[in-house]
Chains A and B, each alone.
Chain A
Amino acid sequence: MGGHGLYVWLSYGLSFLVIGLLVWRVRSARRAFVRQARARAQRLSAEPQAK
């Protein structure tokens, strides 16, 4: 990179880190929400039977 490698790789590295973070964040948030929502639904359906 003719002495500019640090600047170029730093820019690309940071950008792909941010892109990865944004994609991971939305995917993991969805998985977590679905898991929690399913657990809530199961609790609600189990409650009347327990009574």
Chain B
Amino acid sequence: MSLKTLWHKLGSPRWFYELSGPWTTGFGVAAALLLAVGCVWALAIAPEDYQQGNSYRIMYIHVPTAILAQSVYMTLGVAGVILLVWRMKLADMVLACAVPFGLWMTALALVTGAIWGKPTWGTWWVWDARIVSMLVQLFLFFGLYALREAIPRADAAGRACAVLAIVGLVNIPIIKYSVDWWLTLHQPSSNLLTGPTMPSEMYLPLFVNIIGFYCLYAYVLLASLRLEILRREEKTQWVQQQLQQPLPQQPQAV
């Protein structure tokens, strides 16, 4: 299938619904396995850090959630552009469905960072550029959530959320480069692909957890999108046929 055909097919919620069923199950199973392996590895097998002791194990949750929170926001920005330019229904659904997940990941990144900060820096919170820019992202997610609830007309709410998502993209490079642009307490970011600054027995479980969290995101997003498609297309014949089938038993991702 060419990219152009795929692009046109993505305009059909029915096509997407039928395609995404096995993928949802696959991502759910992959997330459960990877997170189980990654967390056991991180907690029981990875060696203790010579400076931070065992508190560094929080990194295996904090880093994936922080990376994912930014990825979710970038998904929203891209979906916003697609919605405004091509008016694709699926893009509006992504804008609606990805917000709760991104909000929770940003909150988790902030909370686990605060918990990690206490034994490492001696404080739960500092008004540091990296932390504040992540807090701004949390408010952006709250804003997107509130905006959709506040506007009764669905198409107008979708467009407003798209604009806010695109405008909020400016915060992504600020988060990324905050540790370089300002003098911060937060450590500089390390690139896992081009050369992590830790031994392999420490970064491999981190890598597994990052992939696991991405699979979890794919699972939750696809499952939410499939539900949203059913809601919006409830009156169509194909959805009525789907509703007659027994409830699918999807895997628990935990």
Spell out A's residues near B (CB within 8 Å).
Answer: 1-5, 7-8, 10-12, 14-16, 18-23, 25-27, 29-31, 33-34, 37-38, 40-41
Residues in chain A near residue B16, CB distance under 8 A: none
Partner of A23, one of B220, B234, B247: B220
Residues in chain A near residue B112, CB distance under 8 A: 11, 14-15
Chain B facing A: main interface SS: helix
Cβ contact within 8 Å between B54 and A8: yes
**B96 interfacial by beta-carbon distance below 8 Å:** no
14 contacts between A and B (CB under 8 A): A2-B54, A11-B62, A15-B61, A18-B104, A18-B107, A19-B254, A26-B223, A27-B223, A27-B250, A30-B227, A30-B247, A33-B227, A33-B231, A41-B240
Partner of A41, one of B35, B243, B253: B243
Residues in chain B near residue A10, CB distance under 8 A: 115
Spell out B's residues near A (CB within 8 Å).
Answer: 35, 39, 43, 48, 53-55, 57-58, 61-62, 65, 100-101, 104, 107-108, 111-112, 115-116, 118-119, 216, 219-220, 223-224, 226-227, 230-231, 234, 239-240, 243-244, 247, 250, 252-254
Cβ contact within 8 Å between A11 and B240: no
The complex places the Cα of A33 from the Cα of B111 at a distance, in Å, of 33
The complex places the Cα of A2 from the Cα of B58 at a distance, in Å, of 14
Cβ contact within 8 Å between A20 and B54: no
Instruction: Tell me how far the C-beta of B215 lies from the nearest C-beta in chain A, rounded to whole angstroms.
Output: 12
Cβ contact within 8 Å between A19 and B58: no
User: Between A and B, how many residue pairs show CB distances below 8 Å?
Assistant: 91
Instruction: Tell me how far the C-beta of B109 lies from the nearest C-beta in chain A, rounded to whole angstroms.
Output: 10
Given A7-B58, A34-B243, A34-B247, answer yes or no on A14-B227 (Cβ-Cβ < 8 Å).
Answer: no
Cβ contact within 8 Å between B224 and A26: yes
Chain A facing B: main interface SS: helix
Cβ contact within 8 Å between A29 and B53: no
Partner of A18, one of B108, B116, B118, B119: B108
The complex places the Cα of A32 from the Cα of B222 at a distance, in Å, of 18
Cβ contact within 8 Å between A11 and B58: yes
Given A19-B216, A26-B223, A41-B240, answer yes or no on A11-B61 (Cβ-Cβ < 8 Å).
Answer: yes
Partner of B100, one of A7, A12, A22, A34: A22
Residues in chain A near residue B227, CB distance under 8 A: 26, 29-30, 33
Given A7-B55, A30-B227, answer yes or no on A12-B104 (Cβ-Cβ < 8 Å).
Answer: no
Residues in chain A near residue B223, CB distance under 8 A: 26-27, 30
The complex places the Cα of A10 from the Cα of B220 at a distance, in Å, of 23
Instruction: Tell me how far the C-beta of B50 lies from the nearest C-beta in chain A, rounded to whole angstroms.
Output: 12
Residues in chain B near residue A37, CB distance under 8 A: 230, 234, 239, 243
